[in-house]
């Protein structure tokens, strides 16, 4: 058995425009007719989807174990919904910037408001649309989409988690994706303490948001929540903001995305314990409000 592990995103934004992958009119017989599939892929995120399109382009009988999660993190809990929230919240920020609008000769009568649930629904609907397009591209190329989680069960064997059925394949590709990292000492309840997955639901917009970590995901959430009216505090264990960024890019991001906004930060502070519930601030701001904590 040849076993492949996808470690990087394939050029899988093919998934958003699958038309340039030639449609196969017939399927070759599985190698030596002793396997159910030539290629079976565990995971159907951007990597798994791209691998399936390529395999079908080579005329191979292909199956994908989607776990009912076609599109994976990027489409359902990452890039797509986060960019939708950024776009919507960015419009709110722009329309509330009266000085900038006035310089353009534009005036807005009355307060600019938004519907929190409608903004959240917009992000979900966009993600569902992209997910549906990915599913249709697989079906159109006669890829077997198995809506179950695949588990390696031996050489050339995959077990469907719920049904228990065993499938065989000459080649197996692992594209399982990732899950949010929750540091030790942190309790997530998805009500006041969230992972980045839960924060995308936009269940409420609190007065104050503490974000543990100042990477690009934390930066995105700070942009969304400050645009919608929250104050943000970054809690960063290392002695600098955005420690994984190129230093020049980090400086530009701080100048454009942090300093002009209601964002402060605590550097060199390790969040050793975080518990759900109403959080009362103990700093000089004297804030007393429910707090959303996004773990990134």
| Per-residue confidence (pLDDT) for residue 203, from 0 to 100 | 87
Asked whether residue 165 is assigned to any structural domain, the reply reads yes
Question: 33 pLDDT band (50/70/90 cuts)?
Answer: low
Q: What are phi and psi of 258, to 5 degrees?
A: -115, -55
Mark whether 101 and 154 lie in a shared domain. Answer: yes
Mark whether 264 and 288 lie in a shared domain. Answer: yes
Question: 110 pLDDT band (50/70/90 cuts)?
Answer: confident
| Per-residue confidence (pLDDT) for residue 24, from 0 to 100 | 43
Asked whether residue 225 is assigned to any structural domain, the reply reads yes
Mark whether 141 and 251 lie in a shared domain. Answer: no
Question: 189 pLDDT band (50/70/90 cuts)?
Answer: confident
| Per-residue confidence (pLDDT) for residue 193, from 0 to 100 | 87
Contact between 38 and 62 (Cβ < 8 Å): yes
Residue range 14-33: average pLDDT?
Answer: 46
Asked whether residue 186 is assigned to any structural domain, the reply reads no
Q: Which residue has the higher pLDDT, 106 or 12?
A: 106
Mark whether 39 and 155 lie in a shared domain. Answer: yes
Place of tokens 């000085």: 99
Question: 206 pLDDT band (50/70/90 cuts)?
Answer: confident
| Per-residue confidence (pLDDT) for residue 191, from 0 to 100 | 80
CATH number at residue 37: 3.50.50.60
Cβ partners under 8 Å of residue 168, min gap 6: 34, 35, 36, 37, 156, 157, 158
CA dist 43 and 67 (Å) reads 7
Neighbours of 160 (CB within 10 A): 18
Which tens digit of pLDDT belongs to each residue from 120-169?
Answer: 999 999 999 999 999 999 999 999 999 999 999 999 999 999 999 999 99
| Per-residue confidence (pLDDT) for residue 188, from 0 to 100 | 87
In the predicted model, is pLDDT for residue 25 greater than 50?
no
Q: Which residue has the higher pLDDT, 35 or 28?
A: 35
Collapsed DSSP state (helix, strand, coil) of residue 97: coil
Task: Note the Cα 157 to chain centre separation in Å.
Answer: 30
Asked whether residue 82 is assigned to any structural domain, the reply reads yes
Question: 119 pLDDT band (50/70/90 cuts)?
Answer: very high
Asked whether residue 187 is assigned to any structural domain, the reply reads no
CA dist 53 and 263 (Å) reads 43
Question: 27 pLDDT band (50/70/90 cuts)?
Answer: very low
The total domain count for the chain is: 2
Domain-ending residue, one of 144, 178, 212? 178
Query: What DSSP assignment string belongs to 228-282?
Result: TT-EEEEEESSSSSSTTS-HHHHHHHIIIIITTTTEEEEET-----B-SS--B--
| Per-residue confidence (pLDDT) for residue 194, from 0 to 100 | 87
Mark whether 155 and 258 lie in a shared domain. Answer: no
Segments forming the whole domain that contains residue 14:
1-178
Q: Would you call 215 exposed, middle or buried from its count of C-beta atoms within 10 A (0-12, 13-18, 19+)? A: middle
The pLDDT mean for the chain works out to: 84
pTM for this entry:
0.80
Which tens digit of pLDDT belongs to each residue from 264-293?
Answer: 999 998 888 887 766 544 444 444 445 555
Q: Determine the Cα angle at 160 with ends 157 and 162, to 5°.
A: 155
Asked whether residue 155 is assigned to any structural domain, the reply reads yes
Domain-ending residue, one of 135, 153, 178? 178
């Amino acid at each position: 058995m040849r076993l492949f592990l996808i470690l990087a995103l394939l050029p899988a934004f093919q998934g958003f425009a699958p038309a340039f992958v030639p449609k196969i009119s017939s399927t070759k017989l599985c190698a030596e007719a002793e396997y159910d599939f030539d290629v079976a892929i565990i995971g159907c995120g951007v990597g798994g989807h791209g691998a399936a399109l390529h395999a079908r382009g080579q005329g191979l009988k292909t199956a994908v174990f989607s776990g009912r999660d076609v599109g994976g993190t990027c489409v359902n809990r990452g890039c797509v919904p986060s960019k939708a929230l950024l776009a919507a919240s960015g419009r709110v920020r722009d329309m509330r910037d009266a000085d900038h609008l006035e310089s353009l000769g534009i005036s807005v009568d009355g307060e600019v408001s938004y519907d929190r649930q409608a903004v959240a629904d917009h992000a979900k609907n966009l993600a569902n649309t992209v997910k549906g397009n990915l599913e249709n591209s697989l079906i159109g190329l006669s890829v077997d989409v198995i809506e179950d989680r695949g588990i390696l069960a031996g050489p050339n064997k995959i077990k469907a988690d719920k049904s228990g059925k065993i499938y065989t394949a000459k080649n197996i590709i692992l594209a399982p994706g990732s899950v949010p990292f929750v540091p030790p000492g942190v309790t997530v309840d998805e009500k006041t303490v969230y992972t980045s997955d839960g924060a995308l639901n936009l269940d409420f917009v609190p007065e104050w948001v503490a974000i543990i970590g100042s990477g690009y995901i934390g930066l995105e959430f700070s942009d969304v929540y400050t645009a919608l009216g929250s104050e943000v505090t970054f809690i960063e264990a290392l002695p600098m903001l955005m420690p994984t960024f190129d230093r020049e890019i980090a400086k530009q991001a701080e100048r454009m995305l942090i300093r002009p906004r209601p964002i402060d930060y605590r550097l060199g502070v390790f969040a050793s314990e975080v518990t759900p519930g109403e959080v009362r601030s103990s700093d000089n701001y004297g804030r007393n409000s429910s707090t959303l904590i996004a773990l990134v």
